[in-house]
Amino acid sequence: MAGLWFDELSIGQVFRHAIRRTVTETDNLLFSTLTHNPAQLHLDAEYMKDSGYGRILVNSTFTLGLMVGVSVGDTTLGTAIANLGWDEVRFPAPVFIGDTLRIETEVAELRDSKSRPDAGIVTFLHRAYNQRDELVASCRRSGLQRKKPV
């Protein structure tokens, strides 16, 4: 098991995840079409030439999923019970095809579950940065996490 138990986490703990990911045209195309998002922003290079960006924008939901997904191996793999929600999702800068993203995760809050003595609720702050160290995405994510078995 790669993830950590609830009891092994501490507020302020920061994970700088080793996995980095270069976003490809195929990633963006498949994600946008699989989720039935036909926005020209994500699929039409000719349309985007005349936009303020000059090129296709990567689907922000893909960016969100990648940011959280990269964090799983170091934090919740094998110890998560349930994802409880994403809050404060932000995209302060665009992601373009060819950008390489790195992810950081910080433990923001920890509290015991009132209904499950074998678990706690953890709140993570996830942040994604591009190759120029620009913050491109962030979110606050809460989850139900197993405590270490006694």
- At 12-28, the pLDDT tens digits run 999 999 999 999 999 99
CATH class, range 6-146: alpha beta
Point out which residues pair with 100 in neighbouring strands: 22
Which helix H or strand E contains 48, and what residues bound it?
helix 45-49
Q: How confident is the model over 85-143, as pLDDT tens digits?
A: 999 999 999 999 999 999 999 999 999 999 999 999 999 999 999 999 999 999 999 99
CA–CA gap between residue 71 and residue 56 (Å, rounded):
26
* pLDDT tens digits, one per residue of 61-88: 999 999 999 999 999 999 999 999 999 9
CA distances from 58 to 9, 54, 85, 100 (A): 32, 13, 23, 12
Q: How much is the pLDDT for 1?
A: 56
Domain assignments of the chain as residue spans, ordered by start = 6-146
